[in-house]
Amino acid sequence: MNVIILSVHFDQLCLEVFADMGEKCAQPINGVAIKDFAAVFRHKDQMHVHLKNAVPPTSYIVVIFHRPNYNQGMKRLQAFKYELMPDGEQERDMRRFAGSCRFVYNKALSMQKALFEQGKKKFGYAGLCKVITEWRNGDETPWLKDAPVHPLQQSLKDLERAYTNFFAKRADFPRFKKKGQSDSFRYPDPRQIKLDQAHSRIFLPKLGWIRYRNSREVLGAVKNVTVLHHGGKWYASIQTEREVEQPIPEGDAIGIDMGVARFATFDRPLPEFDNKDHLEPLNSFKRHETALRKAQQAMSRKTKFSSNWKKAKARVQAIHMRIGNARRDFLHKTSTTISQNHAIVCIEDLKVRNMSKSAAGSAENPGKQVRAKSGLNKSILDQGWFEFRRQLEYKLEWNGGWLVAVPAKNTSRTCPSCDHVSAENRKTQEQFACLSCGFEGNADVVGAINVLRAGHARFACPVSGATMPPATGTHRSDSDKAPCHV
């Protein structure tokens, strides 16, 4: 699918657009989306526009979606998660396999750290696989033979990926795994996996046939299966690959301003949300905070690792699981609705980790308003902004759309009418009143409008080479004609 983005200056009302896609490639245009925003670039393009019915000139952004009539496909990787129903022996084996993978990961990490302290080069994945063979055949850890070898090797791949993320400054240094936290193991070879959807069962090496709760159909060819333990239950995440038709995006562009008092505010009322211009937050943690505190207090009064302590711990885990499930359900339903009704979604590029840092400071430099900042951090993390953005990104890609992230600076301080930027424009947390032109409105709605304007600019600038308007949140140190990039 081809996308043509034009910034044009209309002198008439009606239009017919013809695109020159090259020899033997001229095809009808599938859709045109027009937005009433300031023009970003005004140079000539390879387009012929026939217009009539003269009206006063207005600046528009025109996004043309064109899909050639030859068949195009794309590969989609998708995971399907199911709750497993193992018998007693299978559950014991899964605990042993997860423990074996955790042992291999921790021992390999300890060996890599020792090599680094000695000034030697660390092992690569191939070298570590040879070490696993020695461990399986050695006298110290013969019980590693009971676990399938492929999941053990996959734990080494996880360690290699952790080192790669650390050196790329995407994550902290790899840490040792602890029993009971993210216990899992992965089968990477689809030839060793058998899926019987008709009878709701799956075959895994050294576990045999295991029944699962068949809540939906698995689509595509199985690539790998990850078995994980969470909240006292075992789950299987089946990753598949399938060929799908190249999707055509539907709908227009929207801007979204994220917040705490309002989970998401749109640049205009949306019919798919009952003509509302915002969504109220779910606040799943806040709803269960009292029950969670009482359960944790009851657990703290029990003797550690006793039977009563384990029962209390299970109650705490159940509450945490309820909180996470409610939040994920809300985020999935919201992101699915948005991705199915809009071709371009513009959001703020929020740095959640920086925004939710503690204000406690240190003994030498104590922080200020620590309690208030702690409550704000709790509310920020309760919203799930990062997970919402992650879901929007892959769902829009599946539907042929785009997610555009723009800097959040000055989005709620810029007037959408005259582009005047001032902190005084925002009278209160909710009210916006421009000091220059007198424009008034809800501050979150103004922020969403500016996010949409900035998204259009960043979407079009790589095509035209033009610069960003003031509402895109450029830094003051940037030059006036610095090019923008998505």
Assess whether 113 and 206 both reside in one domain: yes
Assess whether 52 and 104 both reside in one domain: no
Q: Which of 8-17, 209-218, 223-232 has the lowest mean pLDDT?
A: 8-17
Q: Which of 23-37, 120-134, 146-160, 434-448 has the lowest mean pLDDT?
A: 23-37
**Which residue has tokens 């032109």?**
437
Name the band, by pLDDT with cuts 50, 70 and 90, for residue 461: low
Q: What is the mean pLDDT of the chain?
A: 83
* 412 falls within a domain: no
Number of separate domains in the chain: 3
Predicted local distance difference test score (pLDDT) of residue 364: 74
Assess whether 337 and 217 both reside in one domain: no
Assess whether 34 and 107 both reside in one domain: no
Assess whether 102 and 144 both reside in one domain: yes
Among candidate residues 183, 267, 393, 444, the one labeled active-site is 444
Last residue of a domain, one of 244, 275, 301: 244
* 482 falls within a domain: no
Does the pTM surpass 0.85? The reply is no
User: Is 289 noted as a catalytic residue in this protein?
Assistant: no
In the predicted model, is pLDDT for residue 307 greater than 60?
yes
Among candidate residues 257, 267, 382, 393, the one labeled active-site is 257
Once rounded to an integer, what is the mean pLDDT over residues 4-32? 41
Assess whether 224 and 268 both reside in one domain: no
127 is in which domain, residue-wise? Answer: 76-244
Assess whether 107 and 228 both reside in one domain: yes
Last residue of a domain, one of 364, 384, 406: 406
Instruction: Say how far apart CA 266 and CA 403 lie, in whole Å.
Output: 15
User: Is 245 noted as a catalytic residue in this protein?
Assistant: no
* 474 falls within a domain: no
In the predicted model, is pLDDT for residue 462 greater than 50?
yes
Assess whether 337 and 266 both reside in one domain: yes
Assess whether 210 and 357 both reside in one domain: no
Once rounded to an integer, what is the mean pLDDT over residues 433-451? 93
User: Is 257 noted as a catalytic residue in this protein?
Assistant: yes
Among candidate residues 93, 183, 348, 382, the one labeled active-site is 348
Assess whether 83 and 137 both reside in one domain: yes
Give 338-385 pLDDT, tens digit per residue: 999 999 999 999 999 889 888 887 777 788 888 888 899 999 999 999
Give 13-25 pLDDT, tens digit per residue: 333 333 333 443 3
Predicted local distance difference test score (pLDDT) of residue 3: 52
* 423 falls within a domain: no
Question: Within 10 A of 180 (CB to CB), how many other CB atoms are there?
Answer: 11
